[in-house]
Amino acid sequence: MGDIGSTVIIGVVLVLLLVLSVFIQGLRTRRSPMGKVVGIASNVRYNGRLCQSIGENRATGRFKTGAWDKHRNSVDFLPAELRFELSNLFESINEINANIDAARKHGSQSYLSASDVEKLKVPLASCGEQLKEWVYANMNNPEYLPKKRSIFRR
């Protein structure tokens, strides 16, 4: 009976170490420059799909801005033009999100005009393409990739 208990405890500890390792690797990846850019690009892609669904008169949610809000001050490695364009894009998205929040608060369904969404389509496509090009150009650049930690490395 004692052997089974110790085997189970060892197994549980190994599984917990594996889960912890995967979690830490995910954090390291998201904090790397490449992870920051991929997160912002993910928000841009989601917002582009949301713009399309609004154009098709489907119910809509809020636009995502979390990655940009979190990393806007730490993406100095991106080209200045792209940072400026992203800043303007997410400023417009924040205004639209404020309109969505206000309309929901007042119980209104007509919170987005077609012009609001239309003005986002071109910048979303442009920023998405530029981010994709940056990721492809730098995907093998060790300066932007997550740092690998090991017991044997310093």
Query: Do both 18 and 36 map to the same domain?
Result: no
Query: Which residues span the domain enclosing 105?
Result: 32-154
Q: Are residues 73 and 24 in the same domain?
A: no
Give the list of residues 6+ apart from residue 28 with CB closer than 8 angstroms, or none.
Answer: 146, 147, 149
Same domain, 3 and 76: no
Give phi and psi for 135, each to the nearest 5: -60, -45
- If asked whether residues 130 and 107 sit together in one domain, one would say yes
Angle, CA of 48, 102 and 87, to the nearest 5°: 40
Q: Are residues 19 and 68 in the same domain?
A: no
Half-sphere exposure of 23 (CA within 13 A, CB side): 6
Task: Specify whether 24 is located in the same domain as 91.
Answer: no
Question: Tens place of pLDDT for every residue, the chain, 154 residues?
Answer: 567 878 888 888 788 777 766 555 554 455 678 888 888 999 999 999 888 887 666 566 789 998 898 888 888 888 899 999 999 999 999 988 888 888 778 777 666 665 577 888 899 999 999 989 988 888 887 777 666 655 554 4
Domain count, the chain: 2
Which residues have CB under 8 Å from 8's CB, separation 6+? none
The whole-model pTM stands at 0.71
Distance CA 108, CA 75 (A): 37
